[in-house]
């Protein structure tokens, strides 16, 4: 019954989209942009100084969206830690009964600095090549996650991570305010010198914001992971 | 078929598959996976909007690449959309964990408190 | 110059700080101060001359490339409503949230919800709207689940799954709009869609309305509402019923009237509104739990506002806005008091509350005032707003207007009967009821009393505000 209703609903939706969509998407081939993207491509080297235009859009043209995006992650991490706090039922016990054994543990610890290094590289080159604060932050968090997965006990400095999380968030807002009260008089205005186009120290505040975003993303992710796994390890300690 | 047409059709199919599994599955984890598949379809759709024939990535290099660059705006939107999708998924999975602890099941049919 | 951007930045900064404070007392005071600061800010903008809207460009890049915020009279009025009721709810939470462990986080999420509300009100960029809308949704899911009961987890997950599908539709609609207009600024999109193929615009509009309509609780996609609003903590029910659905409704209508102006969305929305009134009020009539009754009543009231706002006349829009303000006051009173009924008796059924009105005299009076205003009894604000809606409908000549009047009158009768049933139980003889005899003081705590008193003032003297309520829905 459930399947039938599902098929009917989805089928009707698909039929509607196909009948409307066929005519519209039939002539889908273009050799040049006719959107605001072409304007951005033309102005971005001068305005932002970033070689990677996607980064320029994310951090400067639509920097306000990125502030919102970071806030979404913040809200989600808050929610996870509020809700996971009370799980004490040995839900994840099986997962954590085994530690990974010596080789895996030593290996993951040895990998940690290298993964973090790759993460930092990706963050700092965000305005030059694909990457930036979000992927870089995730990679840094992955380093910690690998260690959590393999070792039985890992004490994460929660206090430090909370401080980093808050400072990164406030730092983003502070940069915004510097723009607001600078001669540019606009929230999140890029007022730092642009530097030489295509070099590491260029693009004004874009690397700074990406570093802040990376700290924020990494600390939120470590928070989420540690809260979710702590639910399991707390129950294991109770069982022992 | 041109490249964008193939991509539009795939995006459309991904959205349909995701929504179908969201409607028909009773396992809550699978419902969340269905949501993620649909999310993927939407992201593919957004990226395809910025497509240009023979376009290259919108990154300025020392050796200028021949041909036009693709639209950077949809790519930036997709970045945002992926992060939002991640946040929602993490929250949803935590809720499923809590439901599993309180009800001992992740099957929507076994959870009788509210109507689904 | 006080920038409108402070509306978003101040609560965000406070939310970030609240987590660091991590002590309940500190978090409470910080949230209270933020709420007060926002109310003062909103008052400043409400008094300011906004005959031409004040625009702010982010990062010094003008649209279509950048993002623009704009403060007009409608935004200022709604911002005042949101910040004042947010402040009062934070005040109420000071005593209501006593037992909760994660209080500082709770306040942080509430502040994020307020920041997101201001964001969707002010932004003039379609994708930026989506980002703030997502923050609003995620914080609502978290706050519903923060009641930490079985039912609230289920309601929250259900809300989350439905809301996420809505967000997907909205994102597809934004993609379709960008594809034809090449811009994300609302004014550009409005222009481009005006010249686009009609079926294309219709598809875009349908996906957008369906997506955003979920948070606004419009008829076919409002199934999450009764569960979420009735299982959430009562302070949060007051927030969600009090301004979140109203805000989403106004923003949705503003966009459908300006961006999608080439298709006539008003007629289908009007019929959806009438269906919402009927189903909401009928379902509310059949409930035995107080908070569930109130949640279904919100469903009906949203329909009432939507009906007035979609009549297509100036009078209709003004009546709808006035009713929205009234509903924020009245529904907040009822939900906030219902929270204390549950705290004091430990039960959710209406029949367990017999005699409570005598043991909590002040609270009982506030409850009665809120209920009377919701039904629309003469000296109170609710009478004027409902009367204005009916008279606007009668002279509008819109399709379905007379049917609407009949449905509204029927809804009012139902509403009066179930709310009267609650009031009668409150003042019935406690000995005949099956409540255990609770000794000692029953009245609400002082902060909660002050908060409810604030909303009561709005409900009693709101009719003097009528000339100040704007009705324009321009971009």
- Name the residue ranges covered by the structural domains of chain A: 49-239
Upstream peptide bond of C64 is cis (omega within 30 degrees of 0) = yes
Show the domain range for B102: 3-55+68-107
pLDDT band for C116, please (50, 70, 90 cuts): very high
Provide the pLDDT for residue C217: 85
Q: Which residues of B touch C229 (CB under 8 A)?
A: none
Taking residues C189-208, what's their average pLDDT? 85
The secondary structure of chain A, three-state, reads CHHHHHHHHHHHHHHHHHHHHHHHHCCCCCCCCCCHHHHHHHHHHHHCCCCEHHHHHHHHHCHHHHHHHHHHHHHHHHHHHHHHCCCCCCCCHHHHHCCCCHHHHHHHHHHHHHHHHHHHHHHHCCCCCCCCHHHHHHHHHHHHHHHHHHCCCCCCCHHHHHHHHHHHHHHHHHHHHHHHHCCCCCCCCCCCCCECCCCCCECCCHHHHHHHHHHHHHHHHHHHHHHHHHHHHHHHHHHC
Provide the pLDDT for residue C433: 47
Domain count, chain C: 1
B73 touching chain A per CB within 8 A: yes
The yes-or-no verdict on residue C216 having pLDDT over 90 is no
User: Is the distance from CB of C452 to CB of C336 less than 8 angstroms?
Assistant: yes
- Token pair of A218, please? 């990494």
Specify if C271 maps to a domain.
yes
Distances (CA, A) of A119 to A64, A126, A237: 24, 11, 33
How many residues are listed for chain C in this entry?
475
Query: Residue C122 CA to chain centroid, in angstroms?
Result: 16
Task: Give me the DSSP letters along C248-261.
Answer: HHHHHHHHHHHTTT
Of A72, A75, A198, the CB nearest to B62: A198
CB pair distance less than 8 Å for A68 and C106: no
The yes-or-no verdict on residue C432 having pLDDT over 60 is no
Name the average pLDDT for chain C.
Answer: 86
Least confidently predicted of A136-140, C27-31, C194-198, C423-427: C194-198
CB pair distance less than 8 Å for B73 and A36: yes
Give tens-digit pLDDT for C223-263. Answer: 888 888 888 888 999 999 888 999 999 988 888 888 888 88
Name the average pLDDT for chain B.
Answer: 84
Specify if B97 maps to a domain.
yes
pLDDT band for C131, please (50, 70, 90 cuts): very high
Give tens-digit pLDDT for B52-107. Answer: 877 777 777 766 666 778 888 898 899 999 999 999 999 999 898 888 888 777 77
| Burial grade of A42 (CB within 10 A; 0-12, 13-18, 19 or more) | exposed
B19 touching chain A per CB within 8 A: yes
The yes-or-no verdict on residue C93 having pLDDT over 80 is yes
Q: Let me know the angle formed at the C-alpha of B47 by B45 and B53, rounded to the nearest 5 degrees.
A: 110
Q: Which residues of C touch B31 (CB under 8 A)?
A: 161
Least confidently predicted of C118-122, C140-144, C448-452: C448-452
C-alpha gyration radius of chain C: 21
Of A61, A82, A187, the CB nearest to C65: A61
Of C17, C61, C148, the CB nearest to A61: C61
Taking residues C133-160, what's their average pLDDT? 89
C230 to chain B: closest CA residue: B114
Q: What CATH number does residue B28 fall under?
A: 1.10.287.3510
Q: How close B113 gets to chain C, by Cα (Å)? A: 6
Beta bridge pairs of residue C471: none
% of chain A residues with pLDDT over 90 = 7
Q: How close C348 gets to chain A, by Cα (Å)? A: 23
Q: Which residues contact residue B80 at a Cβ distance below 8 angstroms, ignoring those fewer than 6 apart?
A: A58, A65, A66, A68, A69, C127, C131
The yes-or-no verdict on residue A57 having pLDDT over 80 is yes
Distances (CA, A) of A237 to A222, B25, C106, C273: 21, 35, 28, 55
The yes-or-no verdict on residue C287 having pLDDT over 90 is no
Taking residues C23-46, what's their average pLDDT? 88
Provide the pLDDT for residue C22: 64
Provide the pLDDT for residue A31: 67
Specify if B62 maps to a domain.
no
Taking residues A190-204, what's their average pLDDT? 75
Provide the pLDDT for residue C430: 65
Provide the pLDDT for residue A235: 44
Taking residues A172-194, what's their average pLDDT? 79
Taking residues C17-25, what's their average pLDDT? 79
Q: How far apart are CA C90 and CA C93, in angstroms?
A: 5
Provide the pLDDT for residue C135: 94
CB pair distance less than 8 Å for A32 and B80: no
Provide the pLDDT for residue C73: 86
Q: How far apart are CA C132 and CA A79, in angstroms?
A: 17
Sign, CA torsion C384/C386/C387/C393: positive
The yes-or-no verdict on residue C47 having pLDDT over 90 is no
CB pair distance less than 8 Å for B103 and C150: yes
CB pair distance less than 8 Å for A66 and B62: no
Provide the pLDDT for residue A240: 42
Show the domain range for C415: 264-475
C-alpha gyration radius of chain B: 19
User: Is the distance from CB of B60 to CB of B99 less than 8 angstroms?
Assistant: no
The yes-or-no verdict on residue C77 having pLDDT over 50 is yes
CB pair distance less than 8 Å for B8 and A52: no
Specify if C78 maps to a domain.
no
Q: How close C58 gets to chain A, by Cα (Å)? A: 5
CB pair distance less than 8 Å for B87 and A9: no
Q: Which residues of chain A from 114 to 143 reach within 8 Å of chain C, CB to CB?
A: none
3-state secondary structure of C185: strand
| Phi-psi category of residue C380: left, alpha or beta, with phi > 0 → left and psi -120 to 50 → alpha | beta
CB pair distance less than 8 Å for B102 and C153: yes
Distances (CA, A) of C294 to C240, C283, C289, C332: 12, 10, 9, 10
Specify if C231 maps to a domain.
no
Q: How far apart are CA A23 and CA A26, in angstroms?
A: 5
The yes-or-no verdict on residue C413 having pLDDT over 50 is yes
Q: What is the ipTM of this complex?
A: 0.92
Q: How far apart are CA C364 and CA C337, in angstroms?
A: 9
Distances (CA, A) of A206 to A63, A178, C185: 10, 14, 23
- Taking any CB pair shorter than 8 Å as contact, residues of chain B touching chain C are 15, 19, 22, 28, 31-32, 35, 38-39, 42, 45-46, 49, 73-74, 77, 80-81, 84, 87-88, 91-92, 95-96, 98-99, 102-103, 111, 113-114, 116
CB pair distance less than 8 Å for A186 and C58: yes
Q: Which residues of chain A from 16 to 45 reach within 8 Å of chain B, CB to CB?
A: 17, 21, 25, 28-33, 35-38, 40-41, 44-45
A172 to chain C: closest CA residue: C13
The yes-or-no verdict on residue A239 having pLDDT over 50 is no
The yes-or-no verdict on residue C353 having pLDDT over 90 is no
Domain count, chain B: 1
Provide the pLDDT for residue C133: 93
The yes-or-no verdict on residue A72 having pLDDT over 90 is yes
The yes-or-no verdict on residue A9 having pLDDT over 90 is no
B84 to chain C: closest CA residue: C134
Taking residues C117-142, what's their average pLDDT? 92
Terminal Cα-to-Cα distance of chain A (whole angstroms): 47
User: Is the distance from CB of A72 to CB of C131 less than 8 angstroms?
Assistant: yes
Q: How far apart are CA C257 and CA C251, in angstroms?
A: 10
Taking residues C50-70, what's their average pLDDT? 83
Higher pLDDT, A129 or C406: C406
Q: Which residues contact residue A10 at a Cβ distance below 8 angstroms, ignoring those fewer than 6 apart?
A: B16, B19, B20, B23
User: Is the distance from CB of A94 to CB of C131 less than 8 angstroms?
Assistant: no
Provide the pLDDT for residue C82: 92
Q: How close A54 gets to chain B, by Cα (Å)? A: 5
Provide the pLDDT for residue B10: 87
* Inter-helix orientation angle C6-21/A158-181, to 10°: 160
Q: How far apart are CA A194 and CA A48, in angstroms?
A: 7
- Taking any CB pair shorter than 8 Å as contact, residues of chain C touching chain B are 127, 131, 134, 138, 141-142, 145, 150-151, 153-158, 160-161, 164-165, 167-168, 171-172, 174-175, 178-179, 184, 227
Beta bridge pairs of residue B59: A52
CB pair distance less than 8 Å for B20 and A10: yes
- Token pair of B17, please? 């598959």
Provide the pLDDT for residue A24: 60
Taking residues C33-56, what's their average pLDDT? 87
Provide the pLDDT for residue B81: 92
Higher pLDDT, C18 or A190: C18
Specify if B20 maps to a domain.
yes
Size of interface B-C (CB pairs under 8 A): 82
The yes-or-no verdict on residue B116 having pLDDT over 50 is no
Taking residues B36-59, what's their average pLDDT? 86
Higher pLDDT, A162 or C9: C9
A171 touching chain C per CB within 8 A: no
Give tens-digit pLDDT for C448-474. Answer: 888 888 888 888 888 888 888 777 766
CB pair distance less than 8 Å for A65 and C127: yes
Q: How far apart are CA C156 and CA A203, in angstroms?
A: 43
CB pair distance less than 8 Å for A2 and B24: yes
B8 touching chain A per CB within 8 A: yes
Neighbours of B56 (CB within 10 A): 14
Specify if B10 maps to a domain.
yes
Q: Which residues of C touch A83 (CB under 8 A)?
A: 142, 145-146
Of C155, C165, C178, the CB nearest to B114: C155
Distances (CA, A) of A88 to A230, A235, A237: 9, 5, 10
% of chain A residues with pLDDT over 70 = 81
CB pair distance less than 8 Å for B76 and A52: no
CB pair distance less than 8 Å for B83 and A69: yes
3-state secondary structure of C448: helix
Give tens-digit pLDDT for C294-331. Answer: 999 999 999 999 999 888 888 888 888 999 999 999 99
């Amino acid at each position: 019954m459930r399947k039938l209703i599902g098929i009917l609903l989805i089928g009707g939706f698909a039929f509607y989209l196909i009948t409307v969509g066929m005519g519209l998407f039939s002539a889908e081939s273009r050799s040049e942009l006719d959107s605001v993207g072409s304007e951005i491509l033309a102005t971005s080297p001068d305005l932002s100084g970033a070689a990677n235009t996607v980064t320029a859009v994310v951090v400067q043209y639509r920097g306000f969206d990125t502030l919102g995006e970071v806030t979404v992650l913040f809200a989600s991490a808050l929610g996870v830690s509020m809700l996971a706090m009370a799980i004490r039922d040995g839900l994840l016990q099986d997962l954590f009964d085994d530690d990974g054994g010596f080789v895996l543990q030593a290996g993951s610890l040895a990998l940690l600095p290298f993964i973090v290094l790759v993460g930092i590289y990706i963050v700092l080159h965000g305005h030059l090549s694909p990457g930036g604060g979000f992927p870089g932050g995730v990679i840094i968090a992955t380093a910690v996650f690998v260690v959590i997965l393999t070792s039985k006990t890992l004490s994460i400095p929660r206090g430090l991570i909370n401080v980093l999380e808050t400072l990164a968030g406030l730092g983003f807002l502070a940069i915004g305010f510097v723009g607001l009260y600078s001669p540019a008089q606009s929230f999140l205005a890029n007022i730092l010198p642009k530097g030489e186009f295509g070099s590491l120290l260029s693009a004004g505040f874009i690397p700074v914001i990406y570093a802040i975003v990376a700290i924020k993303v990494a600390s939120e992710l470590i928070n989420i992971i540690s809260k979710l796994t702590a639910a399991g390890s707390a129950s294991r300690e109770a069982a022992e | 078929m041109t490249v964008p047409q193939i991509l539009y059709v795939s995006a459309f199919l991904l959205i349909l598959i995701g929504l179908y599994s969201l409607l028909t599955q009773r396992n809550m984890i699978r419902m969340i996976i269905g949501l993620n598949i649909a999310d993927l379809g939407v992201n593919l759709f957004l990226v395809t909007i910025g497509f240009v024939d023979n376009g290259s990535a919108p990154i300025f290099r020392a050796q200028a690449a021949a041909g036009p660059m693709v639209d950077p705006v949809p790519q930036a939107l997709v970045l945002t959309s992926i992060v939002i999708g991640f946040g929602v998924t993490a929250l949803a999975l935590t809720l499923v964990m809590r439901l599993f602890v309180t009800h001992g099941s992740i099957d929507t049919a076994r959870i009788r408190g509210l109507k689904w | 110059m006080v920038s409108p951007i402070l509306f978003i930045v101040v609560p965000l900064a406070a939310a970030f700080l609240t987590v660091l404070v991590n002590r309940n007392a500190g978090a409470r005071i910080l949230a209270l101060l933020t709420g007060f600061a926002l109310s003062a800010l909103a008052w400043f903008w409400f008094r300011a001359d906004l005959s031409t809207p004040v625009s702010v460009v982010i990062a010094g890049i003008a649209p279509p490339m950048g993002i623009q915020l704009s403060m007009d009279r409608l935004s200022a009025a709604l911002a005042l409503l949101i910040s004042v009721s947010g402040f009062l709810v934070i005040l109420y939470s000071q005593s209501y949230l006593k037992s909760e462990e994660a209080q500082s986080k709770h306040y942080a999420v509430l502040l994020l919800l307020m920041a997101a509300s201001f964001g969707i009100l002010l932004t003039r960029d379609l994708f930026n709207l989506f980002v703030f809308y997502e923050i609003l949704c995620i914080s609502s899911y978290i706050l519903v689940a923060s009641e930490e009961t079985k039912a609230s987890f289920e309601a929250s997950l259900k809300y989350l799954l439905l809301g996420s599908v809505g967000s997907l539709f909205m994102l597809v609609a934004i993609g379709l709009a960008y594809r034809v207009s090449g811009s994300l600024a609302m004014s550009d999109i409005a222009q481009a869609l005006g010249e686009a193929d009609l079926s294309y615009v219709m598809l875009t509009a349908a996906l957008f309305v369906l997506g955003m309509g979920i948070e606004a609780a419009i008829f076919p996609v409002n199934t999450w509402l009764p569960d979420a609003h009735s299982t959430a903590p009562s302070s949060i029910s007051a927030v969600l019923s009090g301004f979140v659905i109203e805000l989403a409704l106004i923003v949705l209508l503003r966009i459908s009237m300006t961006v999608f102006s080439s298709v006539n969305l008003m007629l289908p929305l009007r019929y959806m509104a009438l269906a919402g009134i009927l189903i909401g009020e009928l379902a509310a009539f059949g409930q035995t739990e107080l908070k569930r009754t109130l949640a279904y009543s919100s469903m009906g009231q949203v329909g009432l506002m939507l009906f007035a706002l979609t009549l297509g006349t100036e009078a209709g829009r003004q009546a709808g806005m006035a009713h929205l303000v009234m509903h924020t006051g009245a529904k907040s009173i009822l939900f906030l008091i219902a929270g204390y009924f549950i705290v004091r008796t430990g039960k959710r059924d209406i029949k367990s509350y017999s005699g409570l009105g005598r043991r909590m005299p002040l609270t009982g009076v506030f409850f009665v005032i809120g209920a009377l205003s919701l039904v629309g009894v003469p000296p109170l604000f609710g009478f004027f707003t409902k009367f204005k809606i009916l008279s606007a409908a009668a002279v509008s000549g819109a399709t379905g207007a007379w049917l609407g009047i009949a449905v509204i009158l029927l809804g009012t009768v139902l509403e009066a009967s179930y709310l009267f049933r609650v009031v009668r139980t409150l003042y019935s003889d406690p000995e005949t009821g099956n409540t255990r005899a609770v000794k000692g003081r029953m009245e609400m705590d002082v902060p909660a009393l002050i908060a409810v008193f604030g909303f009561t003032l709005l409900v009693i003297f709101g009719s003097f505000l009528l000339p100040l309520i704007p009705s324009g829905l321009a971009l």
